[in-house]
Amino acid sequence: MALSILGALAAWDLAHTPAVYTLLVVLVPLNVLLSTLRVERGARYRASYIWFVLLILEGIAIFLLSKTQNLDLSHWALKSPPNPLVGRVAFAAAFAALVWRAWPEYKPLPVGLSAALIAFFIAESWPASPGNYAAFMTAAGVILVAALLQESHQLAFRDPLTGLPGRRALEERLRALGGHYAIAMVDVDHFKKFNDTHGHDIGDQVLRLVGGRLSQAAKGGVAYRYGGEEFSVLFPGASVDDAARELEDIRNSIETYKMAVRSPDRPKKTDEGAKRRGEGGTEQMLSVTVSIGVAGPKEGATPQHVIKAADEALYRAKQGGRNRVSR
């Protein structure tokens, strides 16, 4: 998609004809529209060579058109410049698809693409004024690059399972921390057994749930997935007392939360399954508990020391019987 917009810039520079212009303003939004819909269907990686073929075909079409003179573009839907009706319709459809795709997560790539598409649309509305065209095309390019950088940053720093920032993000944050803060280490209790009993998929669901609770409930705290079934919560500017109070509420809300899941021994045969469902026996309410250790900086302690202290507190929470907050 980025290639398509950059290609459009090059093509317009090479061949300044109305036919090329018309083709570009239709093809670029159509490419965006197509790829937006395809990503939704999850065919992203396997189908990428199809994109190359498509873009090359489009390039050839543009090249051939640029050699063709006297093409009749007087039809009302194609009349250009300015932007012909088909181009506007394609733009509107592509933009709507992008917004639909971006909502409600506002990931950098779809948001950046929407913005770049708008910049492209503005650019293409001024084909006769090279200054404006170049300015908005450059803007489209810069937005795209920024969005790609942001997306790859998220890939490195965000945990895909829970959506929380990961350990690298925590380490980054610790470097810019003041002297007053608290760190909590959170570990799911008997999670190995939980996985063995209910399966890894339901285990993953539990991790998402715990991550969600941690990030919502922590007032002034930021939750990170430290690794595996361990989380950290960082409370910048908070005392250990304040953090411990906050964490006790979180611990309690996780303990009392009941998760409805289908039981793993669900019968394969549908008629038998229907009979069982009729009896209401296939759903199970599950819950987990967490142990939490919290610590704050002592004189001269680095964040790494504090994490270690929180880890030791977590160990005491486990020793003390789990499902509790220790310091």
- Between the CA of residue 297 and those of 186, 301, 310, what are the distances in Å? 18, 6, 10
58 contributes a contact to Mg ion by CB under 5 A? no
Q: How far is the CB of 326 from ligand GH3 (least distance, A)?
A: 13
Report the site for Mg ion in 171-190 (rule: CB under 5 A).
187-188
229 a catalytic residue: yes
Phi, psi dihedrals of residue 293, rounded to the nearest 5°: -115, 135
Compose the 73-112 pattern: x for residues touching Mg ion by CB under 5 A, - for all others.
Answer: ----------------------------------------
Which among Mg ion, ligand GH3, none contacts residue 150 (Cβ within 5 to 8 A by kind)? none
Q: For Mg ion, which residue of 91, 95, 136, 191 counts as binding (CB under 5 A)?
A: 191
Q: Report the residue number, 192 or 316, with the smaller CB distance to ligand GH3.
A: 192
The two three-digit tokens of residue 80, written as one number: 């250009």
Which residues, other chains included, contact 238 with Cβ-Cβ below 8 Å and sequence gap of 6+?
Answer: 180, 181, 182, 220, 221, 246
Give counts: helices (H), strands (E), the chain.
12, 7
Tokens of 270: 């549908």
Residue 272 near which of ligand GH3, Mg ion, none (CB within 5-8 Å, type-dependent): none
Are 98 and 110 contacting, i.e. CB atoms less than 8 angstroms apart?
yes
Report the residue number, 19 or 185, with the smaller CB distance to ligand GH3.
Answer: 185
Q: How far apart are the first and last CA of the chain?
A: 52
Annotated catalytic residue: which of 58, 229, 230, 246? 229
Cβ of residue 238: shortest distance to Mg ion, in angstroms? 25
Nearer to Mg ion, 111 or 292 (CB): 292
Closest approach, Cβ 292 to ligand GH3, in A, equals: 12
- Closest residue to bound ligand GH3 by CB: 203
Give one word for 143, left, alpha or beta, with left for phi > 0 and alpha for psi -120 to 50: alpha
User: What residues line the site for ligand GH3 (CB under 6 A)?
Assistant: 187-193, 195, 200, 203-204, 207, 228-229, 318, 322
CB 319 to ligand GH3: min, Å = 10
Asked if 84 and 20 touch (Cβ cutoff 8 Å), the reply is: no
Q: Are 98 and 36 in contact (CB under 8 A)?
A: yes
Q: List, by residue number, the catalytic residues.
A: 229
